[in-house]
A and B are shown apart, each in its own frame.
Chain A
Amino acid sequence: MIPAAGPDVAAAGVPLETPPVRATSLLRRSLRLWRTRIGVGLVGLLVLLAIVGPFVAPYGQSAPVGAPNALPGGKAALGTDYLGQDVLSRLLDGGRSILITAFIATAAGLIVGVVIGLIAAYARNALDDVLMRAMDVIMAFPQIMLALVAVAVVGAHAWVIVVALALTTVPRIARVARGAALPVVERDFIACAEAMGVPRWRILFVELLPNTLGPLMVEASLRMTYSIAVIAALAFLGLSTDPNGANWGTMIYENQTVLPIQPWGAVAPIIAIALLTMGTGLIGDGIARTAAGIDRSRGGE
């Protein structure tokens, strides 16, 4: 009978470091929490809606179905909007562009941001300063403002919004990546790799990156939430890429003035957006709590 592995490190002034958790097990564990499950459920539901929606919509997004601003009933399950188009159909059509744009922008920002953050943390010298100052410059703008400026100059094209959003995501991710990587860089296994002469890129992506995944995943879900919010907000401000197409943000903008008469034109997309962002927020929070909980139970005894 081999005794279970227990701590046999003396409290000799050396801090007992809490080892980071593997990414897959972090995700799996966070799914044990109710909130993560609800979050995944919400996001899953809405993503499904966005993908499958256009195929199951009863009418086309621009086809007039009845009198404008009619309440639910008859042909239109959720009523009609200010142009007489079917709210339900537009709802089912309206999620895709938001999700795709948000996803691409966040993913791009994530990749670039992680690379910059890791390099800055590892370099720890003038390069770190320069990179972080550059990040500060980009962060001197609220995200939505940079998107607005870009649209003002170039026009409301999808790629403009994606680039602007990705650009503002980069420094925020870089900051988190750097913050998560700095304590890891100080640890001996990195020094060991350096002493053995492991190539720098390997150290960054094979040794360093996997140990920063916890905070990165939390931040990524936060950024996703925010990207969705900004894109919808841009549409709401009347700057969507396809003025006639269905887009949840645009729908709210269009039907805002007729709220007293026919609320569903605005309320339906509001509910959709709210649920989506709540979902991503819950997922991020679930991961954060799991990581914190693991740290706590490892550190205490």
Chain B
Amino acid sequence: MLARIRWGGVPGFVIRRVLLGLIVLIMVSIVVFAATQALPGDPARAILGRSATPQSLAALRLKLHLNQPVFTQYWTWLTGLLRGNLGTSLAAQEPVTTLLRPKLVNSSVLVAVSAILSIPLSIAIGSWAALKREKIFDTLSSNLLLVLAAIPEFVVAVVLVLLLATTVSHVLPAISNIPPGSGPWNYPSALVLPVLTLVIVVAPYVARIVRASMIEVLESDYIEMARLKGLPERTVMIRHALPNALGPVFQVIALNLAYLAGGIVVVEFVFAYAGIGSALRDAVLNHDLPVVQALAMLIAALYVALNLLADVATIMVTPRLRTRL
């Protein structure tokens, strides 16, 4: 298997991981394609519904290349994808790329802002709770985080709307009314609630993971030994504990971003935010297959890339794993 080829050192590892990622992506594309077009049954009929006329069905089949052998269909689709041609939206009759590009920008801004807030927050809370474990801050925050982490994101979203936009107060807009053509940065108040929701949904879960891995580091033998050598506590924390806690932190960051990517689907819908999340929801309702395929591949590619980056970053900060390569 490709994974077992022993190429040397860190560059070799990176290449191996990238190849692995590509293989996973190809498998994902097969799955996406199979799920949407290659299933038994008639996609054309599923899209147009029962009341479709034979002519419209035939036209659609031609358009979607459904009459060709499956493999050819797949190949056409895949090569199109790689060339940047994501197909044409059935609902909007536009190329998918034109349709999605502004939404992609919007979602990226949303995710970026949420990440900038939630990553340091979760690391800080998790680390502090680990440092002061079993004391008041830890017990309080752990319980609060547990409760928050369990609640589904749309519940959080609606509660926030209730509290801040409609019933309890009217501080913020309930809907993110960003006119098409302009970016969210021109309307910061439209971002507040969606970002807040995302942060509340993602940060607690990640903070708990940070806490657990920090505790593992803090209770290790080498930290005890560092104290027994008479090192000042600050040195123990910064020089000894931190580097060992970094490895897991990269995984945590990747996890953070991955959850955010999943969370935008619902959050964008609640706030009518024009991003790829709500685009996906609309495409699903309309059976707009090309858009669904494109979005699925996009998000999958993002996941794979994030995991890859996290793995490579972890290797870089863990000397023990580096020399084993």
Contacts and interface: CB of A to CB of B under 8 A. Distances in A.
B178 interface: no
Interface of B: 1, 3, 20, 23-25, 27-28, 31-32, 35-36, 39, 41, 43, 46, 143, 146-147, 149-155, 158-159, 161-162, 166-167, 258, 261-262, 265-266, 269-270, 280-281, 283-285, 287-289, 292, 296, 299-300, 303-304
21 contacts: A35-B146, A133-B27, A144-B265, A148-B265, A149-B284, A152-B36, A152-B289, A153-B35, A155-B46, A228-B152, A232-B152, A236-B266, A238-B281, A256-B158, A259-B166, A259-B167, A260-B167, A270-B158, A270-B159, A278-B147, A285-B146
Contacts of B281: 148, 237-238
Contact of B155 (A129, A137, A273): A273
A113 B312 CA distance: 27
Majority secondary structure, B binding face: helix
A137 B296 CA distance: 12
Interface residues of A, number: 49
B23 A153 contact: no
A149 B23 CA distance: 21
A81 B282 CA distance: 25
B17 to A, nearest CB: 12
A16 interface: no
B287 A152 contact: yes
Interface string A250-277: 0010001001100100110010011001
A236 B39 CA distance: 27
A69 interface: no
A157 B179 CA distance: 35
B162 A259 contact: yes
The 3 closest A-B pairs by CB, nearest first: A142-B262, A281-B150, A229-B152
Majority secondary structure, A binding face: helix
Nearest to B292: A152
Nearest to B152: A229
A140 B266 contact: no
Contact of B3 (A129, A139, A277): A129
Interface in A118-139: 126, 129, 133-134, 136-137, 139
A153 B261 CA distance: 22
Interface string A274-293: 10011011100100000000
A150 B35 contact: yes
A250 B212 CA distance: 36
Contacts of A266: 158, 162
Nearest to A155: B46
B162 A154 contact: no
B24 A137 contact: yes
B150 A277 contact: yes
Nearest to A134: B27
A142 B301 CA distance: 12
Contact of B269 (A141, A152, A237): A237
Contact of A263 (B167, B284, B304): B167
Given A148-B280, A153-B289, A153-B292, 11 more contacts: A140-B28, A143-B262, A144-B262, A233-B266, A239-B284, A256-B158, A259-B167, A266-B158, A273-B151, A278-B147, A281-B150
